[in-house]
Structure 1
Amino acid sequence: MEMSSPHQADPAALDEARLLDTQRAFDSVAADYDGPRGNNELIQRMRLTLWDTVQRLFEPGSRLVDLGCGTGIDAVEFGQRGFRVLATDWSPRMVERTRERAAAAGLEGEVHAAHIGVQQLERIADGSGERFDGPFDGMYSNFGPLNCALDLPAVAAECARLVRPGGALVFSVIGRICPWEVAHYLRRGRFRRATVRAARGATAVGMNRHTIWTRYYLPREFYRAFADDFALEDYRALSLFMPPPYLVERYRRNPARYERLGLLDDRWGALPLLRDMGDHFLIVMRRR
């Protein structure tokens, strides 16, 4: 893991440097990001849970914002399902990939990609009448872009500004307690890596020789930033009994066995206590 970090004494400069670190990391993998992730059965299983949740909550034709769209897999899926999507990402190369994917699918009218990070949501106008201005029916975010938010309460305030009363947020967030991860790294004697999610504040996580600055949350810890304007409707664990996506080779050696564990995820992942664990959690909040 690359643990390089900026050394500026000024907090604003430190935040800016961390944002640029994260942007460079995702820019560096944008070209081939779909390879290891797009073909990962464990990622796809979690992705389907978010897709099904969004489909259940919103009517076709709803206007949605994708926070941290990556290469646009989710945005194009929802465009094909009849939603109108403003897909945003802090990585300009990821935004380019999303535009290419939408164009290839003939969805330029349904999916609009914009280079806007989660810390820049004030750039989305409210009520000027343009096609992708607010208010929106809802927002979704998949696989942890909001873990990279430097100021989560500020993000929550912008979500409240942009989402109409009665609208919903559907966020997949990297959790603080992942039993599989702890067991995996403890067995290998990597004690520091086993406890990385316990850290408070921004934690440096390496990717492709770059650094992503990440915060880990328990579901209700995450919800506190949104509580003033959103009611907590539901949350559940993702990949609690199933291994996390980076252990996909273990899954591939015995898929039938792990699919049985996946049934436990489906049946028990929303139960009290169990829903506070897992590689990710899926949380649904309703605008008051």
Structure 2
Amino acid sequence: MPTELIDQWKNVDQAFSKQSIHFDEDDFSNAILQEWRKRIYKHVDQFIKPNSKILELNAGTGIDAIRFAREGHSVHATDISGGMIKKLKDKISIHSLTNTISIQQISFENIDNVEGKFDYVFSNFGGLNCIDDLKKVTRHLPKLLNEGGFITWVIMPRVSPWEWTWAFKGKFKEAFRRFDRNGTSAHLEGETFTTYYYSSDQIKDCFDSQFQLLKTEGLGIFSPPPSAVNFAKRFRGISNFLNRIDRVASKMYPFNRWGDHVIVTLEFYSKNY
């Protein structure tokens, strides 16, 4: 593996391991994040079948894994961050979920080392934006998915109108950073790594003909994203108005491809099916 990729994953591990200490507190105190999780679960619930076996990528501290387990599913939770994995192990023990949630510390690029078949592959809140080529992940999925299995990924796209408003403050580089095909430096907990943004067409093109795109949905198209929660608190009227626009626009083309994040769901059928 090239040195730059080793450094990328090392820095990602260190950054999110540091963040794991206060991750849950930050998440549960952010009203926008909580609302987005509800929307993501509502989206997934349209496709997931009872008692599904889920492979979760970038599982973090297990917020989503625990929710799915409580809904009757089994989850194999993966993450590269040692700190996140430790938090997840502690929570599984506390909630007595050792029979329904298993754990593996692994990067996206190495999911070919995951054993078994799954009904669903789930990745939330832009974890996959840490990789420079989504095909490094998608190439392994046919051997991991059962026939008729689903994929739902929540990814940061290129078009984010909210970020364009930074241009009014003279922050042109930040406003249009998502269009840099070489990625953008992200700074988290004193660590630096590269974040890559993908258009909906790029995401779709990373899957071969065995995968059918079913639905895309935008999150934070015009409304404040979780990072702007203080704006939302200060200007509640404006934020509520923008949220109403988002709820209507999020499922309509082209807005369902825009936002701070997009929810993308595909279905898998092998060529021999």
Under TM normalisation by the shorter chain, which class is it? over 0.9
Task: List structure 1 runs of 4+ shifted beyond 6 angstroms.
Answer: none
Q: 1:247-282 CA deviation, whole Å, 9 max, x = no partner? A: 001111243542342232222211111122110000
Percent of matched pairs sharing the same residue = 26
User: Match of 2:268, as an amino acid?
Assistant: R
Number of aligned pairs? 269
CA distance in 2, matches of 1:221, 1:67: 19
The aligned counterpart of 2:157 is 175
> Which residue, out of 215, 234, 252, partners 2:215?
234
Contact 1:119 1:150 in 2 (8 A): no
CA distance in 2, matches of 1:59, 1:194: 40
The aligned counterpart of 1:121 is 111
The aligned counterpart of 1:203 is 184
Q: CA deviation at 1:151?
A: 3.3
Contact 1:239 1:265 in 2 (8 A): yes
CA distance in 2, matches of 1:179, 1:12: 35
Q: What aligned pairs does 1:127-142 form with structure 2 within 5 A after superposition?
A: 134-142=116-124
CA distance in 1, matches of 2:259, 2:251: 11
User: TM-score when scaled to structure 1?
Assistant: 0.89
User: Match of 1:277, as an amino acid?
Assistant: W
Q: Pick which of 46-55 and 257-266 moved more.
A: 257-266
Secondary structure of the structure 2 residue equivalent to 1:151: coil
Q: 1:98-140 CA deviation, whole Å, 9 max, x = no partner? A: 1112222221111112111111101112xxxxxxxx2100111
Q: CA RMSD in A?
A: 1.5
Q: 1:216-248 CA deviation, whole Å, 9 max, x = no partner? A: 011121111113331111101111122111100
* Gapped regions of structure 1 (runs ≥ 5): 1-10, 126-133
CA distance in 1, matches of 2:168, 2:225: 16
User: Match of 1:136, as an amino acid?
Assistant: F
User: Match of 2:29, as an amino acid?
Assistant: N
The aligned counterpart of 1:146 is 128
> Which residue, out of 38, 47, 53, partners 2:43?
53
CA distance in 1, matches of 2:240, 2:149: 34
> Which residue, out of 247, 250, 253, partners 2:234?
253
* Gapped regions of structure 2 (runs ≥ 5): none
Q: CA deviation at 1:56?
A: 2.2
